[in-house]
């Protein structure tokens, strides 16, 4: 899949090159500025990662500017390298106080007329690579590169992608084809595609990837033994681009491999087994990142079997990895999927807090708790998990889902960066008035040793990586937001559009509007007012009002002829609202103060309840679903205006997906509205047809 000169345009038109397409830039002042500086490059290091940065620079500049980059500067040039790498232009441009500001993965860029160069310097080869991608991003979006003088460090230490790929080649919650890592219980031979993937991830700022599903199957248990040489080959590719490889492991591994008859984390033989495995892994992969673990949830094995808790299980693994600098990422998605939901005091939303709040401070220093952004399961709308703010003495990362499991499965466009931004800005009140989630997950609020962001991947072996071309914006946007949570959703969308489609302002304006409106549109024709789960069970695509996974215990939303919603208040409900801190607990518990968009998550109300918007609940349901379907059709109309402005291969991909979305939105509209019309018996005020 390597993009050679002969097939560059073919790959770009398929979407394969994504935001590293390097579209040709228009003639003009910006173009002339770039040609002035970028015709030559000075690199003094043979380090593989620095050389990869050089190759990326040459590829990008030659494609965008149509010029050949000389490696023998005679006049103005770009200088690339580490501060200690022997490039006299780098050492001549940056002062000592600048060097002191650059972190392990950060970089400095300075335009120096005195030295006839724009210098990209860093303390590590990975930082050099990030700096080169940054400069290419500035050029690709027509920003000035004269007068640059900045130090850029990533805000979050861990910026991670979790693959849910299985060894047989399937992908759990995969909506972009099959795995490009595995096929028929063997590792892929296409390391070139893995390298291209690593380039894409590195360019967006990703520094860690777990390559297998958290629901570890029997053969995947052998990744830490029989298949370790194959894992090592992928790690070699990732290393080139500053990415550490992680593995999801089976907590019952000692039993599955038949060497120990138990997985009790306090058993000496179990501890010894994991210590031996850790030594074997690090002998093969010296920079191995560590383990990702899902335990005691959805029938996965874990420490509960032996009367132990999550801290016992995580710490046992952490002790095995600690001598090598490895970490354990322990997922907090833990709940009893066999609970009887007919008991209205039973509440899955409470589970993560109830399990992990009592264990705060009991985890080893190289354990990180991975907490889903909400208390349920990546719904189109749900509150922020109350665990953020509740854990003062425990490393933690937030988990997002780039894969659109409940948000259209990459068949509908749903740009998720605005949702993630909203979550990151949420004020937990954990330390008074200014305690947003973003400062918990970056480690600054509690001074954590480890912190950051993880997300479930949305890629597969489809030619364009993500199935829906516009879903690439979520993958790119996640990486950029993890690097710098202060970026706006608008900025990120603008970057991705320029780097993928070019700099035509008409194209940028249309695609930006499609992306920025899409989350609101998708929410409006699916689950209303935060209620969640009106979707087909198992595969999670398409409307099904009573389709909650465990509907054998009754409907999730408790809708009847009188009203709808889940009572999570303290006085009459599950008490979940009390898991929040400060005024959040009060607002959510109060029917009068609860925000409309989360009303049905926290309260059971009659259909005639008046929202803050002035509408009744039932009228909101009708209006939102009619308007959502209309706006979904408008997305297609907007896209068709670009027919002659976007490469045909890219245009047709998006057109086909938007046609499906427009039709499917009507199906959502009709099924949801009909259900609630028949359930409530209340007419639509606008007298639209509801069957």
The residues assigned a catalytic role are: 298, 377, 405
279 CB neighbour count, 10 Å cutoff: 12
| CA 190 to chain CA mean position, Å | 24
8 A C-beta contact, residue 192 and residue 16:
no
| Number of other residues whose CB lies within 10 A of the CB of residue 585 | 17
At 679, give phi and psi (nearest 5°): -70, -40
Shortest CA distance to 622 belongs to which of 547, 686, 543? Answer: 686
Is 70:40 a contact under the CB 8 Å cutoff?
A: yes
Helices in 241-393 by DSSP H: which ranges? 253-256, 268-284, 310-321, 351-356
Angstrom distance (rounded) from CA 30 to CA 145: 9
Phi-psi domain of 530 (left: phi exceeds 0; alpha: psi -120 through 50; beta: other)? left
Q: What does the buried/exposed string (b/e) look like for 410-421 if buried means 16 or more CB atoms within 10 Å of the residue's CB? A: bbbbbbbbbbbb
358 Cβ contact list (under 8 Å, min separation 6): none
CA distance 54 to 43: 7
Q: What is the rounded CA–CA span in Å between residue 167 and residue 648?
A: 35
DSSP of 420-448, one letter per residue?
HHHHHH-B--TTSS--BHHHHHTSTTTT-
Q: Are 422 and 398 in contact (CB under 8 A)?
A: no
Q: Single out the residue of 685, 300, 370, 376 nearest to residue 535, CA to CA.
A: 376
- Does residue 189 sit in helix, strand or coil? coil
Q: Residue 78 belongs to what H/E stretch?
A: strand 77-82
Report the relative pairing of strands 208-210 and 158-162 from DSSP bridges. Answer: parallel
Give me the sheet containing 41-43, strands edge to edge: 41-43, 77-82, 117-122, 107-112, 149-152
Rounded distance between C-alpha atoms, residue 56 and residue 50, angstroms? 10
E strands along 157-228, which residues? 158-162, 208-210
Closest by CA to 30, choosing from 195, 175, 128, 145, is 145
Which residues, 6+ apart, have CB-to-CB distance to 491 below 8 Å?
Answer: none
The per-residue b/e assignment along 324-361, b for 16 or more CB within 10 angstroms, e otherwise, is: bebbbbbbbbbbeeeeebeeeeebbbbbbbebbeebbe
Specify whether the CB–CB gap between 598 and 566 falls below 8 A. no
Other C-beta atoms closer than 10 Å to the C-beta of 433 total 8
Measured CA to CA, the distance from residue 422 to residue 407 in angstroms comes to: 16
């Amino acid at each position: 899949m390597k993009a050679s000169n002969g097939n560059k345009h073919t790959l770009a038109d398929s979407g394969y090159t994504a935001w590293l397409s390097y579209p040709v830039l228009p003639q003009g002042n910006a173009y002339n500025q770039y040609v002035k500086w970028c015709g030559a490059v000075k690199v003094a290091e043979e380090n593989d990662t620095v050389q990869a940065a050089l190759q990326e620079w040459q590829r990008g500049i030659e494609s965008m500017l149509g010029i050949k980059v000389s490696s023998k500067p005679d006049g103005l040039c770009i200088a690339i390298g580490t501060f200690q790498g022997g490039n006299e232009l780098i050492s001549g441009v940056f002062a000592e106080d600048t060097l002191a500001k650059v972190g392990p993965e950060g970089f400095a860029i300075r335009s120096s007329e005195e030295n006839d160069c724009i210098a990209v310097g860093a303390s590590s080869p990975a930082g050099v690579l990030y700096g080169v991608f940054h400069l290419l991003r500035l050029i690709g979006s027509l920003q000035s590169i004269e007068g640059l003088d900045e130090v850029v460090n990533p805000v979050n230490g861990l910026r991670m992608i979790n693959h849910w790929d299985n060894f047989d080649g399937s992908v759990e919650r995969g909506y972009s084809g099959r795995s490009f890592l595995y096929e028929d219980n063997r590792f892929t031979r296409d390391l070139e595609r893995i390298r291209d993937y690593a380039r894409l991830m590195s360019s967006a700022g990703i520094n860690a990837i777990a390559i297998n599903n958290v629901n570890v199957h029997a053969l995947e248990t052998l990744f830490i033994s029989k298949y370790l040489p194959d894992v090592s080959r992928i790690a070699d590719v990732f290393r080139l681009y500053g990415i550490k490889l992680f593995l999801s492991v089976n907590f019952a591994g000692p039993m599955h491999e038949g060497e120990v008859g138990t997985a009790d984390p306090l058993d000496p033989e179990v501890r010894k087994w994991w210590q031996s495995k850790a030594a074997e892994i690090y002998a093969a992969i010296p920079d191995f990142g560590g383990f990702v673990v899902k335990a005691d949830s959805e029938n996965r094995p874990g420490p509960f079997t032996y009367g132990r808790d999550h801290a016992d299980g995580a710490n046992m693994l952490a002790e095995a990895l600690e001598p090598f600098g490895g970490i354990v990422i322990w997922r907090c998605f833990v709940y009893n999927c066999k609970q009887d939901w007919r008991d209205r005091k039973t509440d899955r939303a409470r589970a993560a807090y109830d399990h992990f709040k009592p264990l705060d401070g009991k985890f080893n220093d190289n354990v990180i708790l991975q907490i889903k952004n909400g208390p349920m399961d990546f719904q189109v709308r749900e509150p922020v998990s109350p665990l953020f703010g509740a854990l003062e003495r425990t490393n933690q990362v937030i988990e997002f889902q780039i894969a659109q499991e409940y948000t259209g499965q990459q068949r509908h466009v749903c740009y998720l960066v605005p949702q993630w931004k909203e979550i990151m800005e949420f004020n937990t009140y954990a330390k008074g008035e200014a305690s947003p989630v973003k400062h918990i997950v970056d480690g600054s609020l509690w001074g954590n040793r480890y912190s950051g962001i993880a997300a479930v991947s949305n890629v597969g072996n489809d030619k364009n990586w993500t199935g829906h071309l516009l879903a690439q914006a979520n993958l790119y946007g996640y990486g950029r937001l993890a690097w710098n949570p202060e970026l706006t959703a608008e900025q990120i969308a603008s970057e991705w559009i320029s780097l993928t489609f070019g700099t035509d302002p008409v194209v940028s304006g249309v695609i930006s509007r499609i992306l920025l409106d899409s989350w609101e549109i998708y929410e409006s024709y699916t689950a209303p007012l935060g209620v969640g789960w009106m979707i087909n069970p198992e595969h999670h695509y398409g409307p099904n009002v009573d389709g909650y996974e465990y509907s054998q215990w009754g409907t999730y939303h408790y809708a009847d002829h009188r009203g709808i919603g889940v009572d999570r208040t303290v006085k009459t409900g599950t008490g979940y609202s009390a898991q929040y801190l400060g005024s959040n607990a009060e607002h959510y518990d109060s029917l009068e103060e609860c925000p409309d968009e989360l009303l049905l998550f926290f309260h059971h109300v009659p259909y005639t309840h008046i929202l803050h918007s002035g509408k009744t609940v039932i009228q909101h349901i009708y209006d939102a679903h009619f308007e959502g379907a209309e706006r979904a059709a408008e997305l297609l109309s907007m896209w068709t205006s670009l027919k002659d402005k976007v490469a045909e291969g890219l245009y047709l991909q998006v057109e086909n997906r938007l046609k499906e979305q427009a039709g499917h939105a009507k199906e959502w509209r009709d099924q949801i509205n009909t259900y609630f019309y028949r359930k409530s018996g209340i007419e639509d005020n606008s007298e639209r047809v509801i069957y």
